[in-house]
């Protein structure tokens, strides 16, 4: 498999929030040629084998205060790397990934990439 990178779709209204988080233009979700999923969001990142992905789901729109920024899910132990509230991809894991924030490891990651459907297809292709 060839590496693929999916950039975040940023909503310019939230630039003031992204600056202290250290969000860079190079941040996004990468599916690496050695079979890993690597998601970076400013000063934090997560990494897991693609074989650890259970399923994905395109979701949105969401309320801005539940989807923008680095945050925990209100309903479970999921992690959000959000740059807009319109649409994103929820990536659920078979085994939890190490915690980035909060007290528990994370069972899912929601990312607001510009092409969530494309990322979902790429994950499916890489794991089937």
Radius of gyration in angstroms for the set of CA atoms belonging to the chain, rounded to a whole number: 13
The residue segments making up the domain with residue 101 are 4-127
- Range name among 37-41, 52-56, 65-69, 71-75 with the lowest pLDDT average: 71-75
Phi, psi of 6 (to 5 degrees): -120, 115
Of 29, 23, 24, which Cα lies nearest the Cα of 3? 29
Q: How many domains does the chain have?
A: 1
CATH number of the CATH domain containing 90: 2.30.29
| Tokens at 20, concatenated | 């202290």
CB 111 within 8 A of CB 79: no
Task: Write the pLDDT tens digit of every residue in 67-113.
Answer: 899 999 877 899 999 999 999 999 999 999 999 999 999 999 999 99
């Amino acid at each position: 498999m060839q590496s693929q990178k999916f950039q975040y779709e940023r909503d310019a209204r939230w630039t003031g929030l992204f600056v202290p988080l250290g969000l860079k233009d190079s941040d996004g979700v990468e599916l690496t040629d050695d079979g890993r999923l690597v998601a970076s969001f400013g000063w934090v990142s997560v990494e897991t084998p693609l074989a650890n992905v259970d399923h994905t789901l395109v979701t949105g729109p969401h309320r801005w205060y539940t989807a923008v920024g680095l945050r925990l899910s209100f309903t479970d132990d999921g992690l959000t790397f959000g740059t807009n509230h319109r649409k994103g991809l929820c990536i659920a894991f078979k085994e939890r990934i190490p915690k980035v924030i909060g007290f528990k490891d994370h069972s899912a990651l929601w990312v607001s990439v510009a092409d969530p459907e494309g990322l979902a297809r790429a994950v499916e292709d890489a794991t089937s």
